[in-house]
Structure 1
Amino acid sequence: MQMIFRSAKTADVPAMQIVRHTVKENTLSDPALVTDKDCEEFVTRRGKDWVCEVEGELVGFAIVDLQAHNIWALFIRPEFEGKGIGKELHRLMMDWYFDQTHQLVWLGTAPNTRAATFYTKQGWKNVGMVNKGEVKFEMTYADWVATTN
């Protein structure tokens, strides 16, 4: 299986939305809460996005928000989980983020999920709760450097 990782383009947004709506965990309570326009804003202005394609099909994506210093998204279609796609998207995103700034970055995800376990394994620190009962994780530049060496 050949995986192609690249920067996202606005033309990728519809496929990114499909990936977002197929996940089994951290589902959106209301899909209208994250619009194509929201995604396009991240692709073009707020931060940076990456996608993974397998056989020409977008199967995962990651988005970091440089303005809010937040991981906005990291989603993989369920049938492509466990193949290293999330880990590589995470690495690309974090390397880019810490090349831009050394400011702490944070994210929120549902507790007791594969995502929470994934972030813990990647060196993120659980610092409490955020939003509506999500676990808040933080990563410092020093912690990222330590996990990559």
Structure 2
Amino acid sequence: MNIREAQLQDIPQIQIVRNSVKENTLSDPNLVTDKDCKEFLSERGKGWVCEIDGQIVGFSIVDLKENNVWALFLHPDFEKQGIGTELHDLMLNWYFTQTQETVWLGTSANTRAENFYRKSGWKEIGTHGKGEIKFEMTYNNWKNKQL
């Protein structure tokens, strides 16, 4: 297993992972374009991928412009191996070296993702978009969790 910074040439495999998930699926895969991925990776923030045997099986992307987690997805065949936690922690550690601004994310209710974020210390603050749960992580909460 290799976790590294995402590169623009990873976008096709990132899209495969994004469209493989069973929860938090896109109603239309064309809603997240390669151009969007490029913008978030090269202009708005940073991303990481997890590779196993040369294939990307998970990725995370955080947006410094809107202070949010834009994506954290894992191919269903690679769940429950700690990969999501590693990508999550690496992403937040980097984010909070760039800014102390609170970071937020939205995810569908009654999903494994919702449970993951709650266990990871995120605080529910309301709703976002089409009924998603909106979570926040403050700088202090993240730093205290790391102690």
TM band (smaller chain): over 0.9
Question: Which of 13, 16, 19 is 1:15 aligned to?
Answer: 13
Q: Deviations over 1:54-88 (max 9, x none)?
A: 01110000000000000000000001000000000
Q: Distance in 1 between matches of 2:145 and 2:113?
A: 18
Partner of 1:84: 82
Q: Distance in 2 between matches of 1:57 and 1:32?
A: 22
Q: Distance in 2 between matches of 1:143 and 1:29?
A: 33
- For the residue of structure 2 that corresponds to 1:68, the secondary structure is coil
CA shift, 1:110, in A, is 0.1
- Displacement over 3 Å in runs of 4+: none
State the AA in 2 paired with 1:75.
F
Partner of 2:107: 109
- For the residue of structure 2 that corresponds to 1:147, the secondary structure is helix
State the AA in 2 paired with 1:10.
L
Q: Deviations over 1:115-146 (max 9, x none)?
A: 00000000000111111100000000000011
Partner of 2:72: 74
State the AA in 1 paired with 2:55.
E
Q: Distance in 1 between matches of 2:82 and 2:146?
A: 16
Q: Distance in 2 between matches of 1:63 and 1:27?
A: 17
Q: Distance in 2 between matches of 1:121 and 1:148?
A: 14
Partner of 2:138: 140
Q: Distance in 1 between matches of 2:65 and 2:41?
A: 13
- For the residue of structure 2 that corresponds to 1:42, the secondary structure is helix
Q: Distance in 2 between matches of 1:93 and 1:99?
A: 10
% same residue: 61
Q: Distance in 1 between matches of 2:70 and 2:49?
A: 14
CA shift, 1:37, in A, is 0.4
TM-score normalised according to structure 2 size: 0.99
Q: Distance in 2 between matches of 1:135 and 1:147?
A: 22
State the AA in 1 paired with 2:38.
E
Q: Distance in 1 between matches of 2:143 and 2:39?
A: 29
- For the residue of structure 1 that corresponds to 2:36, the secondary structure is helix
Question: Which of 47, 62, 65 is 2:63 aligned to?
Answer: 65
